[in-house]
Amino acid sequence: MAFTKPTPRHRQRVLFIFGTRPEAIKLCPIVLHMRTRPDEFDVKVCVTAQHREMLDQVLALFQVQPDHDLNVMRPNQTLSQSTARIIAALEPVLLAEKPDLVIVQGDTTTTFCGALAAFYHRIAVGHVEAGLRTGDLWQPFPEELNRVLTTRLAKLHFAPTSSSAGNLRADGVDDAAIFITGNSGIDAVLHVRDRLQAGELTGYQGVALEPGRKLVLVTAHRRENFGDGLTRLYRAVGQLALRPDVQIIYPVHPNPNVRQPAEALLGGLPNVHLIAPLDYVPFVDLMQRSYLILTDSGGVQEEAPSLGKPVLVLREKTERPEAVEAGTVRLVGTDGEKILAEAGALLDDAGQYQRMSMTHNPYGDGQASRRISDVIANGVFLD
């Protein structure tokens, strides 16, 4: 049985489903763009609230008010718990809204559950940021599996780059269903960067940045790094903080598996500032003001090249090879010696630093929201 087939070129009823901070940052620009085209789109937003505070920060910034809020987050939730809650809670929303298309983004539990719930109701799925792959189901865990499964469920695949489009073709996805659009996260970061530069937004106003010290910005939250990986990373960050020429700021993810060891191993150190997750605008400002970024985040790996900031990626494998190939991002994993050696080289060797801090946009040009909307407006997802 095929998907429901509305009349082509009618006003598309689009339901966005998202739940975490990065999904919100990457989907709100598309929601806002579609809302500027009311003749073409009837847009609804359902948040699972897999994240609560970190999601609400983004919704407030973009002034997106959800039509449905499933409020599923629980402290220290397991993957099975969030999966079960999200699937069950989505059903009445899909029955009430009966959209032509559900849009999901990325590779979280909400992404996969949104696609699966839509499929159960024979509703077509559009996948934003499709085709990222490491080829290893355990890295990142469980996101690589979520991507693979979401690809299988989706009807429309919005690949950020030609390399991700190639991964989709290799998975057997029909070329006609793949659209290279750039990553909508770049729409968000360029917009914020430009408005910060124009003085229209207020930047970071927390910890005083010390003149003469180079700011090293740290973020970490990947499940495969929980335990030993984070312990090795935190010990290396503690060592790095002994250098008199650096200042370290680390907005700590609220997941207790991240926060508790961070407080235990880094909490007392004078040159390491552990702070709460930042709102998106001050975080972009802090990226711009940083010398070097240490992260296992996917989104930060994409944004930093647009801001000309070198990144040491705290993973063994990345699904974002473009910036590695361009030389602005390096994989260091969680081996303490390697982290210290690579960070030291960038702090001490101006030539190496210059080569890594080139500004470029391998992940997009800020126009992804428009391209994705154009495809959907054409109704090409109809059989």
Shortest distance, CB of residue 154 to ligand UD1, whole angstroms? 17
Site string for ligand UD1, 40-79 (x = CB under 6 A): ----------xxxxx------------------xxxxx-x
Q: How far is the CB of 297 from ligand UDP (least distance, A)?
A: 3
* Binding test (CB under 6 A) with ligand UD1, winner from 29, 126, 142, 305: 142
* Nearest distance from C-beta of residue 233 to ligand UDP, angstroms: 14
Q: Please confirm, yes or no, whether 337 is among the known catalytic residues.
A: no
Closest C-alpha among 313, 303, 290, 317 to residue 362 = 303
Cβ(331)–Cβ(318) under 8 Å? yes
| Closest residue to ligand UD1: CB criterion | 108
Q: What is the closest distance, in whole angstroms, from the C-beta atom of residue 213 to ligand UD1 in the complex?
A: 28
Buried b or exposed e, range 107-126, using 16+ CB within 10 angstroms:
bbbbbbbbbbbbbebebbbb
Task: Judge contact between 110 and 17, C-beta under 8 A.
Answer: yes
Q: Which does 76 bind (CB under 5 to 8 A by kind): ligand UDP, ligand UD1, none?
A: ligand UD1
Q: Could you confirm whether 193 is annotated as catalytic?
A: no
317 touches ligand UD1 by CB under 6 A: no
Give residue for tokens 């799925």: 125
Restricted to residues 215-234, the positions that interact with ligand UD1 (CB under 6 A) are 221
Whether 52 sits among the annotated catalytic residues: the reply is no
Alpha helices of 208-364 — where are they, by DSSP H?
228-240, 256-266, 280-289, 298-307, 321-326, 336-348, 350-356
- Please say if 191 is a catalytic residue: no
Range in contact with ligand UD1 (rule: CB under 6 A) among 30-38, 107-115, 195-203, 370-378: 107-115
Please give the torsion angle defined by the CA atoms of residues 292, 296, 302 and 307, in that order, rounded to the nearest 10 degrees: -20
Give one DSSP letter per residue of 243-284, joined into a string: STTEEEEEE--S-HHHHHHHHHHHTT-TTEEEEPPPPHHHHH
Catalytic residue list contains 56: no
The residue annotated as part of the active site, out of 11, 191, 223, 289, is: 223
Active site amino acids: 107, 129, 143, 221, 223, 253
